[in-house]
Structure 1
């Protein structure tokens, strides 16, 4: 298992909408995440900065990377592009975070 952490940026005023969209995550998206090796995925919001912190536990880095090319993931990115910072392909702008401590 591999742990990953990322930072993303939500536009101001969209905190409730972001949560709502994830509370209503499409079944096809859930299945795609499982099919691409996601064991655990949590997203946290820093209300002072609107920064989003994503934490993932995945089976395999290559398997996870392939999720970006799925039709449902592309549809999800388009669905989220109006409320957060994205790249030209509507993928979220992310910063990979470096693990500096882990307590098991």
Structure 2
């Protein structure tokens, strides 16, 4: 089924507004209305991106990140030994050792 890109854009904009309203009026950190609005927004984004690609051969300049396990996120931020990891994979101890040998 082909979706009209204009209709998908209208839905995306409405979903953005609904998400904002849910976040601005949330009742606690685990408000299910925020989670629901997030899911609707993510779906509207994907539908619009697909409709844009189908109708016009274009894509949005960004994408939704895949959800990772909490353990994977923690490993990305912190090295296996608990030291903060840097983008190139080095951690604090690696860099400290390099500084002492230089």
With structure 1 as the length reference, what TM-score do the two structures score? 0.26
Structure showing the higher helix proportion among its residues? 2
Q: What is the TM-score when the length of structure 2 is the normalising length?
A: 0.27
Greater fraction strand: 1
Greater relative contact order structure (CA < 8 Å, 6+ sep): 1
